[in-house]
Amino acid sequence: MSEVRNTPITVAMLGCGTVGGQVARLLHEQADDLTARIGRPIRLTGIAVRRPHRHPEIDPELLTTDAEALVDSGVDLIVEVIGGIEPARSLLLRALKSGTSVVTANKALLAEHGPELHAAADSSGADLYFEAAVAGAIPLLRPLRESLAGDRISRVMGIVNGTTNYVLSAMDASGSGYAETLDEAGRLGYAEADPTADVDGFDAAAKAAILASSAFHTRVRAEDVHREGISGLSAADVAAAQLLGRTVKLLAICERVVDQSGAESVSVRVHPAMIPRAHPLASVGGAFNAVFVEAEAAGQLMFYGQGAGGAQTASAVLGDVVAVARNRVAGGYGPRESAYARLPVRPMGETPTRYHVSLDVADRTGVLSQVALVFAEHDVSIAIVRQEGRSDEASLVLVTHTASDAALRSTVDKLAGLPAVREVVSVMRVEGEEA
């Protein structure tokens, strides 16, 4: 072997928690295979941590508390698995501007500061890879950015947060309590450091922003994503879904919308939705993720696998490390940001959706027609009505056809004010079936 082929590709890692610990293990255990696949050895030269004594499994010579010095140490590649915005943002900008490539699992950072990071990478010719940031182990961003680069994507919809899917699956299967299953998801290493990022939909919204940006060649930031989490969901919502043969999932939905004049926009949203039990997403349980992609020529594609967990996420990180290392060996670089389409993001109120509404109403003549009139006044067409009487009270379930989200929201507000409506038991969007 020539001297060049023996010169290692050097890697420094920032953070060594759930994901970082597994990246360090795999880099060590698979060193020979990685060398063969890349064509040069790969060497981990340092790991920045906050408390070195907490990492007895790592060679102490590798550990440092000075992340900045590690970034400046002249390595080929930085792996960032700290999470959060700062200091990750400053450290990665520093690396990229100086020509050091970056592999990161940090969706929060990419969804808020992606354009700035991409620009820094462009300025120096460094690579920026982030497969682990969306749907953990599942290859999803590379298919969108590379395999489907010749197609026109119309829709990306799926389950992209393992923690909330774990909680919803448990609530659906056994009626278990919300708090106890959330604690368990944390113990299993799925939840974010602050689990409100999971339950309030911030994590899924960041992933939706990254997916929409890649799918539609448009910059979509986390703040552009309509976001509703699962913390407001009750056992009544889950039971209401079960009554109609549906289940509740937290969905990320990115759609290309073409209006009557032919103008295009994108709708990007995260919210709980009822889907039919026969829908493929309904059987996605535990911390698994699954994402449907619809493209004009390819048709429907489905990606399924482990969306969270240390080793699973480390698999995606390692795949990116190999990709960057191969680029170094070959002398090229990976795909750059593609944001040429500049599509506007459609406000949620103008997005076409469907609602399921469950009401407790007084069981007397004329109530059903009063309720139906409110829907008609808002130009919302009803697809299903189901009524069950209980002494002087009745349970009324209505599922609408497609209407603008704003019209549906006003309908529900008006219904809540009707004297005959005793309680709005559950309101949820419906997805995954013909409107």
Ligand X SMILES: NC(=O)c1ccc[n+]([C@@H]2O[C@H](COP(=O)([O-])OP(=O)(O)OC[C@H]3O[C@@H](n4cnc5c(N)ncnc54)[C@H](O)[C@@H]3O)[C@@H](O)[C@H]2O)c1
| H helical segments located in 244-361 | 310-330
CA 291/CA 53 separation, integer angstroms: 40
DSSP string, 330-357: HT--------TT-PPBPPGGGSEE-EEE
CA 121/CA 95 separation, integer angstroms: 9
Quote the Cα angle for 202-402-367, to 5°. 105
Is residue 270 part of the contact set for ligand X (CB under 6 A)? no
**Binder of ligand HSE out of 203, 228, 337, 363 (CB under 6 A):** 203
CA 12/CA 2 separation, integer angstroms: 25
Which range binds ligand HSE by CB under 6 A, 61-69, 87-95, 159-167, 318-326?
Answer: 159-167
**Binder of Na ion out of 76, 112, 131, 198 (CB under 5 A):** 131
Helices and strands counted in the chain (H then E): 15, 18
102 and 77 Cβ atoms separated by less than 8 Å: yes
Radius of gyration in angstroms for the set of CA atoms belonging to the chain, rounded to a whole number: 24
Smallest separation, CB 377 to ligand X (Å): 45
When the beta carbons of 18 and 404 are compared against ligand X, the nearer one is 18
When the beta carbons of 161 and 411 are compared against ligand HSE, the nearer one is 161
The H-or-E segment that residue 72 falls in is none
74 is in an annotated binding site: no
Binding residues for ligand HSE, rule CB under 6 A, total: 11
Choose the one of Na ion, ligand HSE, ligand X, none that binds residue 357, judging by a C-beta under 5 to 8 angstroms depending on kind: none
325 and 76 Cβ atoms separated by less than 8 Å: yes
When the beta carbons of 121 and 314 are compared against ligand HSE, the nearer one is 314
Is residue 292 part of the contact set for ligand HSE (CB under 6 A)? no
**Cα first-last separation, the chain:** 63
371 is in an annotated binding site: no
396 and 385 Cβ atoms separated by less than 8 Å: yes
Q: How many CB atoms lie within 10 A of CB 138?
A: 24
The interaxial angle of helices 18-29 and 31-38, nearest 10 deg, is 80
Q: Which residue among the candidates 97, 207, 249, 414 is catalytic per the annotation?
A: 207
Which range binds ligand X by CB under 6 A, 77-85, 230-238, 245-253, 275-283?
Answer: 77-85
Is residue 135 part of the contact set for Na ion (CB under 5 A)? yes
Tokens of residue 199, six digits: 């339950």
Any catalytic annotation for residue 207? yes
Is residue 136 part of the contact set for ligand X (CB under 6 A)? yes
Amino acid at the residue 173:
A
Amino acid at the residue 214:
S
- Sign of the C-alpha dihedral computed for residues 384, 389, 392 and 393 taken in this order: negative
107 is in an annotated binding site: yes
Tokens of residue 365, six digits: 């003549």
Which range binds ligand X by CB under 6 A, 18-26, 259-267, 274-282, 322-330?
Answer: 18-26
Site string for ligand HSE, 105-144 (x = CB under 6 A): -------------------------------x--------
Site string for ligand HSE, 306-325 (x = CB under 6 A): -xx-----------------
Smallest separation, CB 203 to ligand HSE (Å): 5
**Binder of ligand X out of 46, 114, 143, 189 (CB under 6 A):** 189
Name the residue number minimizing CB distance to ligand X.
Answer: 17
Q: How many CB atoms lie within 10 A of CB 44?
A: 21
Choose the one of ligand X, Na ion, ligand HSE, none that binds residue 131, judging by a C-beta under 5 to 8 angstroms depending on kind: Na ion
Q: Please report, as residue ranges, which positions from 104 to 123 form the binding site for ligand X (by CB under 6 A).
A: 105-107
Is residue 216 part of the contact set for ligand X (CB under 6 A)? no
Smallest separation, CB 55 to ligand X (Å): 8
Tokens of residue 84, six digits: 């959060």
Burial class (CB in 10 A: 0-12, 13-18, 19+), 300: exposed
Is residue 334 part of the contact set for ligand X (CB under 6 A)? no
Burial class (CB in 10 A: 0-12, 13-18, 19+), 319: middle
When the beta carbons of 266 and 323 are compared against ligand X, the nearer one is 323
Rule CB under 5 A: which residues touch Na ion?
131, 135, 138, 140, 316
Rule CB under 6 A: which residues touch ligand X?
14-20, 48-50, 67, 81-83, 87, 105-107, 132, 136, 189-190, 192-193, 308-309, 313
Rule CB under 6 A: which residues touch ligand HSE?
136, 161-163, 190-192, 198, 203, 307-308
The binding site for NADPH comprises 107
Active site amino acids = 207
The binding site comprises 14-21, 107, 192
